[in-house]
């Protein structure tokens, strides 16, 4: 039997086992997917091989820390500087980032020309690169300057909260963790001004409606939360685990999502 898992801390809330095991069962694949509470990244490689994992997903706070244990990285994961999926090929570990595509699948074909990302953490990097790679002009705003350095060096237009000037963006992405704390990522007046000229608001958080999306709905924007991003990144990871077409996995995992 092949064994897969999601590494994280905390991890008890993760829906990944439900999604991946549903596919294994539906396709009669002799495999199981479990949650793995990882205390530290130390000796990760030994642990991975000792347990005999064939692949894994990685969540907070290990997306950057576990990169160094991979033998090679997919170019997109390298660019983003974070992995959320590892696939074992014999004695080699290959790192991927499926969060980026998971995000983009929500908004492709929506005719977006430019975007503003609020936040400059790990998920903002994934979102920024997939937008740029798909020809969408992308700016970043973050409350503190430190995390903006990465984006400045990569050539993105960046703003701190102090030097931000309102402009028209088709898409506004909340890639901060403000919604988890029931806060808006920017002052309400700033968001009102942005939303009044925008088409789509996307909050990466999922599980409850955020203040950010509530406000966006008042401005009649298309409001998207992070739940489908979670589903799409899982489909993409499962495709890498099983080496099967994306559409085949999607058809099955979509059913698990609505259980």
Residues found near ligand NDP in the complex (CB under 6 A):
60, 99, 102, 119-124, 142-144, 147, 175-178, 180-181, 183, 185, 204-206, 226, 229-230, 233
Give 8 or 102: the residue with its C-beta nearer to ligand NDP.
102
Supply the minimum distance, in Å, between the C-beta of residue 17 and ligand NDP. 15
| Distance separating alpha carbons of residues 132 and 129, to the nearest angstrom | 5
> Minimum Å distance from CB 246 to ligand NDP?
17
Phi-psi map region of 100: left, alpha, beta (phi>0 left; psi -120 to 50 alpha): alpha
* Sign, CA torsion 204/249/11/37: negative
SS3 2: strand
Least Cβ distance, residue 35 to ligand NDP (angstroms) = 16
* Strand boundaries in the chain, DSSP class E: 2-8, 31-37, 53-58, 72-73, 85-89, 92-96, 114-118, 137-142, 157-160, 171-174, 200-203, 222-224
Nearest approach, Cβ of residue 150 and ligand NDP (Å): 11
Query: Which CB sits closer to ligand NDP, 92 or 208?
Result: 208
- Residues 63, 79, 105, 125: which is the catalytic one? 63
Rg (CA), the chain: 19
Q: What is the DSSP letter of 104?
A: H
Q: Can you tell me the distance from the alpha carbon of 96 to that of 86, in angstroms, rounded to the nearest whole number?
A: 6
Of residues 172 and 175, the one with the C-beta less far from ligand NDP:
175
Neighbours of 162 (CB within 10 A): 7
Q: What's the closest the beta carbon of residue 103 comes to ligand NDP, in angstroms?
A: 8
**Residue at shortest CB range from ligand NDP:** 121
Q: Which is nearer to ligand NDP, 78 or 143 (CB)?
A: 143
63 annotated active-site: yes
Nearest CB to ligand NDP, comparing residues 45 and 147: 147
3-state helix, strand, coil in the chain (%, to 5): 40, 20, 40
The catalytic site residues sit at 63
């Amino acid at each position: 039997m092949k064994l897969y898992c999601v590494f994280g801390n905390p991890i008890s809330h993760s829906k990944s086992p439900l999604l991946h095991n549903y596919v294994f069962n539906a396709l009669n694949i002799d495999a199981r997917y479990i949650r793995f509470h990882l205390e530290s990244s130390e000796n990760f490689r030994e642990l991975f091989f000792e347990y005999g994992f064939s692949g894994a997903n990685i969540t907070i706070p290990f997306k950057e820390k576990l990169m160094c244990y991979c033998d090679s990285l997919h170019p997109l994961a390298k660019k983003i500087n974070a992995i959320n999926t590892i696939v074992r090929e014999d004695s080699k570990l290959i790192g991927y980032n499926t969060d980026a595509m998971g995000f983009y699948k929500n908004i492709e074909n929506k005719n977006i020309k430019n975007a503003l990302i609020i936040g400059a953490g790990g998920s903002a990097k994934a979102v920024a690169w997939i937008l740029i790679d798909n020809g969408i002009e992308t700016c970043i705003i973050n409350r503190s300057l430190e995390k903006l350095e990465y984006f400045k060096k990569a050539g993105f237009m960046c703003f701190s909260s102090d030097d931000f000037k309102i402009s028209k963006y088709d898409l506004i992405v909340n890639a901060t963790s403000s919604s988890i704390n029931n806060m808006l990522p920017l002052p309400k007046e700033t968001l009102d001004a942005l939303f009044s000229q925008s088409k789509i608001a996307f909050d990466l958080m999922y599980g409850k409606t955020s203040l950010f999306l509530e406000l966006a709905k008042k401005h009649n924007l298309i409001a998207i939360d992070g739940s489908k991003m979670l589903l799409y990144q899982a489909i993409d990871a499962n495709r890498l685990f099983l080496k099967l077409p994306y559409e085949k996995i999607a058809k099955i995992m979509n059913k698990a999502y609505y259980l």
